[in-house]
Structures are given as C-alpha cells and as structure tokens.
C-alpha cells in the first residue's frame, strides 16, 4: 500500500468514525432534551396539583384568622378566644394543612403567630383583649394570610 493510499484509508476511517460520533452525540442530545422536557412537564403538573391542594387546605385557616379583623374591629374578643384560636390552628395544622405550608409560611407566619398567642396565655392574661394585643395578634394573622396567599400565588400581578 502506498503512502497516499494509507493516508486515504486513515482519513476515511477517521471520517467514518467522526460520522458515528456525531450521530451518537445527536442521539444522546435528543435523549437528554426529551428527559429534561419530561421532568419540566412533571414539575409543572406537581406545582398545579400542590396549588390546588393548598387552596383547599388554606380556606379553613383563612377563616380561623378572621377572629381579629382590621376594620371594623371585633368587639368582645377575649384572651380565652385567642387561646381557642391557637388550639384551632394547631388542629388545622395536624389534621388538615400543615403539610402544605411552605417553609417560609411556617417559619415567618404560623410559628410566630402561635408563639405570640402562647406568650399571652403564659402571661396569664384573661378577659377582654387589650388594644395593643389585639393589634399585635391581628398583624400576625395578616402575615399568615399573606404567606398562604403567596403559597398559592393568588395575589400575583395579572391574575385578574
């Protein structure tokens, strides 16, 4: 075999191998693109399902926090009512929806509300709630509602 034939044979072999490598790379690229597309679709379906479940679970919690509206202020709310609110929210947490709370909703809203009510209860306060305690707990309830609204994205711009 002459030198030219040898070079031609090597170049042909390399060219054929390059074609095989290019075809294999294209195939692997398609496999990975399909996989990424499938994972993205599944995540989207999970997000939609989680949002629907959260909405169902959060409605009772939203209602519980209505004990202390901003306007008009509720008359006759007592420290005993607050303690009952804490018990009701705890029941909701373990029986209905605590599993659906985002980490931020739990950390920034649920726990601080429960801690604030527990501090009033531990201080032995009884009877009608003071204006300052009303405002403090009402604000904690409002933060909780804002967090759960964020969890279900109900206050996003452009949602109507």
For residues 24-51, average pLDDT = 75
Q: What local confidence, expressed as pLDDT, does residue 24 receive?
A: 66
Nearest to 62 by CA among 135, 157, 132, 154: 154
* Residue 139 within a domain: yes
Q: What is the CB neighbour count within 10 angstroms for residue 110?
A: 24
- Give the number of other Cβ atoms within 10 Å of residue 79's Cβ: 20
Mean per-residue pLDDT of the chain: 87
**Per the domain annotation, does 160 fall within a domain?**
no
Confidence of residue 26 (pLDDT cuts 50, 70, 90): confident
Q: Could you report the per-residue pLDDT of 62-88, keeping only the tens digit for each?
A: 999 999 999 999 999 999 999 999 999
Note whether residue 91 is domain-resident. yes
Give the per-residue pLDDT at 39: 72
What distance in Å separates the CA atoms of residue 131 and residue 70, rounded to the nearest whole number? 11
- Would 89 be classed as within a structural domain? yes
Summarised one tens digit per residue, pLDDT across range 81-134 is: 999 999 999 999 999 999 999 999 999 999 999 999 999 999 999 999 999 999
Start-to-end CA distance of the chain, whole Å, equals 79
Please state the pTM of the whole predicted model.
0.73
Within 76-130, where are the H helices?
Answer: 79-92, 103-105, 111-122
Of residues 44 and 51, the one with the higher pLDDT is 51
Where in the sequence is the domain holding 12, given as residue range(s)? 3-152
Asked if residue 21 is part of any domain, the answer here is: yes
DSSP codes joined into one string, 50-87? HHHHHHHHHHHHHHHGGGS-SSSPPSS-BHHHHHHHHH
Nearest Cα neighbor of 65 from 79, 80, 51, 86 is: 86
Output the six-digit token pair for 45: 């379906």
Q: Is residue 57 part of a domain?
A: yes
Q: Is 148 exposed, middle or buried (0-12, 13-18, 19+ CB in 10 A)?
A: buried
Task: Identify the pLDDT of residue 152.
Answer: 92
**3-state SS class at 110:** helix
Is the pLDDT at 159 greater than 80? The verdict is: no
pLDDT at 149: 95
**What pLDDT sits at residue 3?**
66
- Number of compact structural domains in the chain: 1
Question: Which of 89, 98, 78, 76 lies closest to 140, judged by CA?
Answer: 89
In the chain, % of residues over pLDDT 70: 79
pLDDT at 130 (0 to 100): 98
């Amino acid at each position: 075999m002459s030198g030219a034939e040898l070079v031609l044979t090597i170049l042909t072999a390399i060219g054929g191998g390059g074609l095989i490598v290019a075809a294999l790379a294209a195939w692997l690229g398609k496999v990975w693109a399909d996989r990424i597309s499938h994972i993205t679709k599944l995540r989207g379906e999970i997000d939609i399902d989680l949002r629907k479940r959260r909405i169902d679970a959060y409605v009772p919690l939203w209602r519980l926090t209505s004990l202390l509206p901003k306007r008009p202020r509720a008359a006759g709310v007592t420290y005993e009512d607050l303690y009952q609110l804490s018990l009701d929210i705890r029941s909701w947490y373990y029986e209905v929806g605590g599993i659906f709370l985002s980490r931020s909703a739990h950390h920034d809203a649920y726990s601080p509300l429960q801690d604030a009510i527990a501090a009033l209860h531990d201080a032995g306060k009884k009877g009608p709630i003071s204006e300052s305690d009303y405002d403090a707990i009402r604000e904690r309830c409002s933060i909780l509602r804002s967090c759960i609204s964020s969890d279900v994205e109900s206050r996003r711009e452009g949602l109507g």
